Amino acid sequence: MTIPVFKRIALVFLLLVQAAGLCAKDFVLVIDAGHGGHDPGAVGAISKEKDINLRVALAFGRLVESNCKDVKVVYTRKTDVFVPLNRRAQIANDAKADLFVSIHTNSVAGNKTAKGASTWTLGLAKTQSNLDVAKRENSVILYEDDYKQVYSGFNPYSSESYIIFELMQDQYMEQSVNFASMIQQQFKNYSGRNDRGVHQAGFLVLKASAMPSVLVELGFISTPSEEKYLNTDKGVGSLSRSIYNAFLNYKKEWECKNSNADTGKIENAPAEQPVEAVQSPAVGSDEGRLIFKVQFLASSKKFDVASDRFKSFERVGRYEDGGIYKYTCYDSVDYDYVNRMRREVAKKYKDAFVVAFKDGKRVDINKAINEYRNKK
């Protein structure tokens, strides 16, 4: 039987629409309200952290759901229930999330004057105060009966346990730091909060999340005026709107990057004076070889890699990724050397980290390190 022409056209059109729907991918956002259930988190004079976190998380989620129809919002909890740390990360990983936001409230014992909001990414705590924040947030695992087995003997109160974060390379660090900076900008400009900056520390919930991730500390429940603000509709509304505004900015960049996904070639500059008197291992021909570099800056502006602003660094390079220019230095086949130089570069650019390339293309840093170690 012959199908009429108009029906064939309609059928083709329907198939095309269905195919488009199958190919379309929503942005997946996972919102994690810290603590919950029998874990109250920090406790103030009039409230508990778990309740503040949940109110802000739900308010943030409602803003996204109401205004961003192409975003799928997933919550680790929507009620007052306890969710283990590893389960929170698993929820995000199972959802194939594009972004993970964990919401918390800070506290300092014996201090009733600390104020302001901060945003954290995964990394090694560089100060005792940063480590203290990580210890407090990670101590939630003690509410889990099998935490020693699940977290491989990790002791949230032992400084030695945090050594694992020194050797860790987070492939999502750049995106996480970028988003964290956007949140802090909104906290300062939209909410008028005291800007306590972007920091790094060893948070287990971020370590297990395979996507760009941040942990937000809304304010200090230990400070009476802060606690009062955090429990008002105005406070909840302002803080959730700040995170939402930052999310919109991040998503715009994400859309731009994913529509122009092209890792550029490296442009090398003439060698400059190194940060310290260390003999750099020769790179030689990089064809088919792993090359490690310290990435220290990302900007929408295209700077001359031979500029005086970079004169402190050796072998400065630049590559383009999704319309963003990224700047590197100290390229070498020796990962250990590059990692040592990262610590030096971090004295000027605190968020510097190691990246890896093969045949001029950026590759997964964790796989690159494993390959490097296996060849030694």
pLDDT at 275: 35
- Please tell me the distance from the alpha carbon of residue 266 to that of residue 325, in angstroms, as a whole number: 11
Helix (H) or strand (E) holding 154: none
Within this chain, do residues 246 and 272 fall inside the same structural domain, yes or no?
Answer: no
What's the domain range around 165?
Answer: 23-259
SS3 assignment, position 73: strand
In a domain, 10, yes or no: no
Considering only CA atoms, which of 347, 279, 272 is closest in space to residue 311? 272
Confidence category of residue 277, pLDDT binned at 50, 70, 90: very low
Query: What sign has the CA pseudo-torsion 310, 313, 316, 320?
Result: negative
Residue 18 located in a structural domain: no
* Selected residue with higher pLDDT from 209 and 246: 246
In a domain, 11, yes or no: no
Q: What is the pLDDT of residue 5?
A: 52
CA-based nearest residue to 274, from 333, 360, 332, 325: 332
Q: What is the pLDDT averaged over residues 238-260?
A: 87
Q: In angstroms, how far is the first alpha carbon of the chain from the final one?
A: 69
pLDDT for 19 equals: 41
Tell me what percent of the residues of the chain surpass a pLDDT of 70: 81
Output the six-digit token pair for 257.
């990057």
What does the pLDDT average to over 305-318? 89
Q: Which residues pair with 102 in a beta bridge?
A: 32, 215
Class of residue 80 by CB neighbours under 10 A (exposed 0-12, middle 13-18, buried 19+):
middle
The closest of 54, 41, 81 to 239, measured between CA atoms, is: 54
Tell me how far apart the alpha carbons of residues 200 and 184 are, in angstroms, rounded to a whole number.
14
pLDDT band at 215 (very low <50, low <70, confident <90, very high): very high
* CA gap 297, 319 in Å, rounded: 11
What is the pairing mode between strands 99-106 and 71-75?
Answer: unpaired
Q: What is the CATH number of the domain that holds 37?
A: 3.40.630.40
Residue 273 domain-assigned (yes or no)? yes
Of 55, 40, 32, 33, the C-alpha closest to 230 is 55
Over 272-340, what HEC string results? CCCCCCCCCCCCCCCCCCEEEEEEEEEECCCCCCCCHHHCCCCCCEEEEECCEEEEEEEEECCHHHHHH
Q: Is 12 a member of any domain?
A: no
CA distance 31 to 54: 10
Check whether 352 has a pLDDT greater than 80: yes
Confidence grade of residue 175 (pLDDT, cut at 50, 70, 90): confident
- The pLDDT value recorded for residue 287 is 64
pLDDT digits (tens, 9 = 90+) for 94-131: 999 999 999 999 999 888 999 999 999 987 776 788 88
- Strand blocks (E) in the chain: 27-33, 71-75, 99-106, 117-122, 195-201, 213-220, 267-268, 290-299, 317-321, 324-332, 353-358, 361-363
Residue 13 within any structural domain of the chain: no
Instruction: Give the range among 105-109, 140-144, 162-166, 231-235 with minimum mean pLDDT.
Output: 162-166
User: 47, 7, 2: which is closest to 232 by C-alpha?
Assistant: 47
Residue 17 in this model has a pLDDT that exceeds 80 = no
Is the per-residue pLDDT at 276 higher than 60? no
Query: What proportion of the chain, given as a percentage, has pLDDT over 90?
Result: 46
* Ramachandran assignment for 105, one of left (phi > 0), alpha (psi -120 to 50 degrees), beta (any other): beta
* Residue 50 in this model has a pLDDT that exceeds 70: yes
In this predicted structure, the answer to whether residue 270 has a pLDDT above a threshold of 80 is: no
Domain boundary among 225, 259, 293: 259
Tell me how far the alpha carbon of residue 68 is from its chain's centroid: 21
Global pTM value: 0.65
Closest CA relative to residue 347, chosen from 118, 197, 126: 126
Both 76 and 209 in one domain: the answer is yes
Phi, psi of 210 (to 5 degrees): -90, 60
Backbone angles phi, psi at 83, to 5 degrees: -125, 120
As a whole number of angstroms, the distance between CA 10 and CA 5 comes to 9
Residue 359 clears pLDDT 80, i.e. is over it: yes
How many domains in the chain? 2
- Residue 204 and residue 104 share a domain: yes
Map tokens 């940060």 to a residue.
Answer: 275
The last residue of one of the domains, among 219, 241, 259, is 259
* One domain for residues 272 and 254: no
SS3 content of the chain, % helix, strand, coil (to 5): 40, 20, 35
Residue 12 pLDDT grade (very low, low, confident, very high; cuts 50, 70, 90): very low
Is position 27 within any domain? Answer: yes
Judgement on whether residues 250 and 300 belong to the same structural domain of the protein: no
159-173, 205-219, 341-355: segment of lowest average pLDDT: 159-173
